Amino acid sequence: MTGLLDGKVAIVTGAGQGVGEGIARALAQAGATVVIAARRAENGEPAAEAIRARSQKASFVCCDVTSESDVAAAIDHAVSQHGRLDIVVHNAVSPPGPPAPIQDVDPAIIEAQIATSTGAAFLLAREAYPYLAANHGSFLLLTSPAGIEGSGNLPVYATVKAAQRGLLKSLAREWGPDGIRVNALAPVAWTPALLTATEANPTLLTRLEARTSLGHIGDPETDIGPVAVFLASDMARHMTGQTLAVDGGRYLGL
């Protein structure tokens, strides 16, 4: 996929680790200049440096996606430092907390998930729109199969991920005449949280793999990243308003 995104500038939220970092690496491998937007410099700066160490282009900007001023500053950083903005990937997510019925979910967890997954998507869309319109860009949301089929264990997480899909379909209709494409990825891949969970519960990995048609959990860079590159590239120029489940066949309902 080298060269598919030559000359493009991308910003990826929550890219200091996990799926966001994998997508950022894949975009850079495809030729994009990548802005790593993360809350913590101790994660974000090393992620950017790792990309630069491969002779690819990346910078870091500190960004709490629930802050309107931080989001505006991150978009401004991308444009002022690199001259344009073509791709926005919203991956940042708030921890969903332990599985629990809705009446037992901490209200603080509800507020944080709404702000990080849904509210931040609105902020990013509003700030990025003029730059994406100028370049016929791509806006990509990281959602989840839980947002399609629901979840009896993580009802708030499933709800905010479903709300993201409502937003992407609305934006796809609104922004289509401007040449902006809006799509989503619903991945299942290794993240620090999943690694911690499988280490604490040795049977969890076996159960997860048994529910996945391909029999393994995805790698953020080599399994999820290329699909993000495809959606951000001109190869997907006639595709908008869609959600791709990139989960090894765990969810087959689309």
CATH number at residue 225: 3.40.50.720
Mean residue pLDDT across the chain: 93
User: Residue 140 falls within a domain, yes or no?
Assistant: yes
pLDDT of 197 strictly over 70: no
pLDDT given for residue 122 in this prediction: 98
The Cα 102–Cα 92 span in angstroms is 23
Burial class (CB within 10 angstroms; exposed 0-12, middle 13-18, buried 19+) of 196: exposed
**Measured CA angle at 164 (ends 162, 166), to 5 deg:** 75
Does 206 or 61 have the greater pLDDT score? 61
User: Residue 211 falls within a domain, yes or no?
Assistant: no
What is the domain count for the chain? 1
pLDDT of 215 strictly over 90: no
The Cα 182–Cα 76 span in angstroms is 21
- Residue 155 has a CB neighbour count (10 Å cut-off) of 18
The Cα 38–Cα 30 span in angstroms is 21
User: Residue 209 falls within a domain, yes or no?
Assistant: no
The Cα 109–Cα 111 span in angstroms is 5
Does 188 or 253 have the greater pLDDT score? 188
Here the tokens at position 132 are 């994406």
Mean per-residue pLDDT, 20-43: 97
Residues of the chain by 3-state class (helix, strand, coil), percent to 5: 50, 15, 35
Closest-CA residue to 185 (of 134, 237, 251): 251
User: Residue 253 falls within a domain, yes or no?
Assistant: no
The Cα 217–Cα 206 span in angstroms is 10
pLDDT of 115 strictly over 90: yes
Contact status, residue 33 vs residue 55, Cβ threshold 8 Å:
no
User: Residue 155 falls within a domain, yes or no?
Assistant: yes
Q: What is the pTM of this model?
A: 0.94
Contact status, residue 241 vs residue 172, Cβ threshold 8 Å:
yes
Kindly report which listed range (12-21, 174-183, 206-215) carries the lowest average pLDDT score.
206-215
pLDDT given for residue 251 in this prediction: 78
User: Residue 109 falls within a domain, yes or no?
Assistant: yes
pLDDT of 199 strictly over 80: no
Kindly report which listed range (2-11, 83-92, 214-223) carries the lowest average pLDDT score.
214-223
pLDDT of 206 strictly over 90: no
Mean per-residue pLDDT, 105-120: 95
Kindly report which listed range (53-67, 111-125, 187-201, 234-248) carries the lowest average pLDDT score.
187-201
pLDDT given for residue 152 in this prediction: 87
User: Residue 212 falls within a domain, yes or no?
Assistant: no
Sequence-distant (6+) residues with CB within 8 A of 66 are: 112, 115, 116, 119, 120, 123
- Provide the residue range defining the domain that includes 120: 9-190+221-244
pLDDT of 72 strictly over 80: yes
Mean per-residue pLDDT, 14-24: 96
Please give the share of the chain, as a percent, with pLDDT higher than 90.
77
**Residues annotated catalytic, as ranges:** 157
Integer-rounded Cα Rg, in Å, for the chain is 17
**Phi, psi values for residue 10, rounded to 5°:** -125, 145
> How does DSSP classify residue 218?
B
User: Residue 161 falls within a domain, yes or no?
Assistant: yes
The Cα 222–Cα 1 span in angstroms is 11
Q: How confident is the model at residue 97 (pLDDT cuts 50, 70, 90)?
A: confident
pLDDT of 200 strictly over 80: no
The Cα 86–Cα 136 span in angstroms is 7
Residue indicated by tokens 């890219």: 15
